Amino acid sequence: MRYDVVVVGGGPSGATAAEDLARAGRRVAMLDRAGRIKPCGGAIPPRLIDDFHIPESQIVAKIGTARMISPTQRSVDIPIENGFVGMVDREHFDEFLRVRANEAGADRFTGTFLRIERDENGPTIVYRDKVSREEKRLETKLIIGADGARSDVARAEVPGGDTIPYVIAYHE
């Protein structure tokens, strides 16, 4: 099968893109590694909760103040604009979004992106299937690289995409 779009990455951006494209009638494949916990606070502003129809069941806390602490232990409390920021558990939230994309019509694949190949028919995503460990292919017209700050898609396809020196996050 040849897809209109293959989305590499099933986090919030990738899963939302896959869902929107599937709802628009496109043939969509979403490739995600799955099985990892992201070093991300999971903060979602109220407007996004409404705009993206995030159910209350996904909100694990509502935070009204952000506290910034310097290396010298000085702290500043900053009130959150519009009352609160909703906090989600990324492990469950990301899976919720991937399921929603699948229910909208996106085909879901779990594995590791390896490379992009091209021929007269267009690009093909080559990935290693998580279960079988075999190399598999997804033929497509368009690729969306939603695989994070250190994107393997960007490294493969965007000039200079392999030169980002570091991305550091701390999650407690």
- Which residues make Cβ contacts (< 8 Å) with residue 85, sequence separation at least 6? 43, 44, 45, 46, 62, 63, 66
> Which tens digit of pLDDT belongs to each residue from 74-121?
888 888 877 888 999 888 999 999 999 999 999 999 999 999 999 999
Q: For the chain, what is the domain count?
A: 2
Closest CA to 52 of 20, 75, 14: 20
Higher-confidence residue: 111 or 162? 111
Q: Please give the pLDDT value at position 78.
A: 86
User: Do 139 and 169 belong to one domain?
Assistant: yes
Q: Judge whether 80 and 64 are in contact, CB under 8 Å.
A: yes
| Domain boundaries, position 65 | 43-88
The CATH number linked to 122 is 3.50.50.60
Q: What percent of the chain has pLDDT over 70?
A: 90
Per-residue confidence band for 20, with pLDDT thresholds at 50, 70 and 90 = very high
- Which residues make Cβ contacts (< 8 Å) with residue 158, sequence separation at least 6? none
User: Do 69 and 109 belong to one domain?
Assistant: no
User: Do 139 and 104 belong to one domain?
Assistant: yes
User: Do 32 and 99 belong to one domain?
Assistant: yes
CA dist 78 and 76 (Å) reads: 6
- Spell out where the chain has E strands: 2-8, 28-32, 43-44, 59-63, 65-69, 75-79, 85-88, 107-119, 122-129, 135-145
